[in-house]
Structures are given as structure tokens and as C-alpha cells.
Structure 1
Amino acid sequence: MKAELCVQTLDNAMASYPAFHGAIIHSDRGAQYTSDLYRRAITRYGICQSMNSAGGRCHDNARRESMWVRMKIELLFDRFNPKQLTVEQLKSLAKRYFMSYWNNRHICASNGSLPPMEKRNRFFAAQTMAA
């Protein structure tokens, strides 16, 4: 993949969905995403780039991809036609899904079969007890 293609994709997305200005885009550390051309484009659109913490950690991205796939399967595909929703409606659905369901009720195998917020609360409770 070339940086020019990635920049063209951003240009097309921004032309179609101006409300994406200021979005967060997650990527791996491929040369196309670390190029000066791509970085100038995301700066131009006010986009914050998120990528894995160090090279060679493909699992950082895999968890994010898994999370998005789950949301699409559980929330969108059987209930809504995303092409008929506005950007604001999609944002609202995604926010409610992650803030309400995913964080508080979704069982995550990587968290000992606990929802993320429960795992977090237990971690901080253990830290308090240890101190």
C-alpha cells in the first residue's frame, strides 16, 4: 500500500463525511502511515493518529480490530443499515455501545471473563488494598 492511496482515502472520506474532522484513526506502523505525506494529511484534517506502541506488536492492533468487528456484528449488521444512518446517528450508536454495553456488560475472555470496567475496578481496589 502506498501513502498516496491512504491520503486519497482520507480525502474521499473527508469530502463525503466532513463531520469526521477531528476523528481518531488507528493504524499499524506501516511506511504509508508514518510517511510525511500521510502525517501532513491527518494534520490538515485535525485527525489524531493512534498506532501500536512499538514496532512488531501486531497484537495491539488485533485487539482493536476485534473490538470493532464485535460492535459491527452485535450492533449494526442485523439491526441497522449503516448506509441509511447519518454520521451523528452512527456516532451516537457507537458511543452508547462502548460506554454502556462494552465497558459494563460485555464479557471479555482476556479480562478473566469480566467486563472491562469490572476488571478496572478490581485492579484499582487491589492497588488500594496493597498500599
Structure 2
Amino acid sequence: MFIAIKTEESTLKGKISFYCKSLDVTRQGFHNYLKYKNSPWKYQSLADAMLDICAEDECNDTYGRVRMHQALEQKQPDGINVPSERTIYRVMEEIGISHRPKRKPNGITRADKEARKSVDLIKRNFTSDKPLEKCVTDMTQVKCLDGKLYVSAIFDCFDSAVLGLAMDTNMKATLCEKTLENTYKSHPGIRGCIIHSDRGTQYTSGIVKKSVVI
């Protein structure tokens, strides 16, 4: 673009070689730019679909490439073949809707190094062919005006549905115990299910282990 401006769209022939050499650009590359610079962007339809998704809800403005890819797969816009996540990321960068985390997220639970290690029954396979067969659990914190709210939930690996949750102003083991109780009340068939968690002190505590056994 700089060379095109300086050479008045290549009309000043004598300056093309000088600028190409100075900027380490080939003459062929420069002329290809002139040839295709007014051509429509091949990802314009995809970009418009992404902007439409962001405009649907103010929360959608925080979408990263993974969630944007999922949203496109779900909507299946007419005439658009949903590309890879990498391509979606490049297009989001181009139109200015990509987001980078300000800091590396850290888990809020802390591993209990003294606790006996349990057998890993999931083995990194977080999918299931049947409901209430394999579940995962974790907790997160939500910043509120009057402090922090801790939310604990259990998800079904079959369809990622939330089977039960509990909330409290602290992240003690009783929060995990309440999550298990609420889940069992809503889905009694969860008895015998594999529930996978990290090795945080809340999950390795005696009170939670007792609830799991019961």
C-alpha cells in the first residue's frame, strides 16, 4: 500500500524498483497487490456472520475463537462453510473482535498434597454415551459489589448439562457437599456415577468423601 501511494498506483515507474528494494518487496508481489486490492475479501460473509453473533447479545462480545466456532456451527449461516478455529481467529483479529486474557487464569482450589491419590477413572476421556454415567465438578468465583460469590456445579459428560449446583460466600468443603446433595435430589439416578474433580482440599476432605460414599 505504501509503494502504491508513493508511485501513484505504479504510474511513476522509476520509483517502483527503489521502493521495492528498500522495503524488501518483490515487484511481482507489488503488482499482485495492485491486481487484487479492489477484489472482495473472501471472508467477508464469515466476518458479517461473526458481527451478527456479537450483536445478538452484549455478552457475546466476549467470545473467543472456540465459542465463536461453536456459535457458527450451531447457527449454520446460509452459504457459509464454517472453517477451522485458526481461520476464525485470524478473521476475528482482522475485524477487531478478538480478545486476549489480561492475565493467566489460576484455579481457586489448592491441591491437598497430603491426601491419598484416588484412581483416575476418567483417564482424560470426558465423553459419555449415556447420561448420569460420568460427571465432572468444579467451582468458580463471581465478583459482586458486596464481595465474592462461590458457585459449585456438577456437569454431565453426556451432554454437558448442569445436574446440580450450590452457591455460598465461601469455598469451604460444605459447598461441595451441598452441590452433591442438590444434584442427588434432582437426579437420584446419579448414584453409582463417576464424579471427577481436581485434588483440591475441598474435594479430598472427609465430609465430601462421606457424601460421595453415601
Q: For this structure pair, what is the TM-score category when the shorter chain's length is used for normalisation?
A: 0.3 to 0.5
TM-score by length of 1: 0.33
Higher relative contact order (CA 8 A, sep 6+): 1
Q: Which has the higher helix share?
A: 1
Q: Which has the higher strand share?
A: 2
When Rg is computed on C-alpha atoms for both structures, the one with the higher figure is: 2
TM-score by length of 2: 0.20
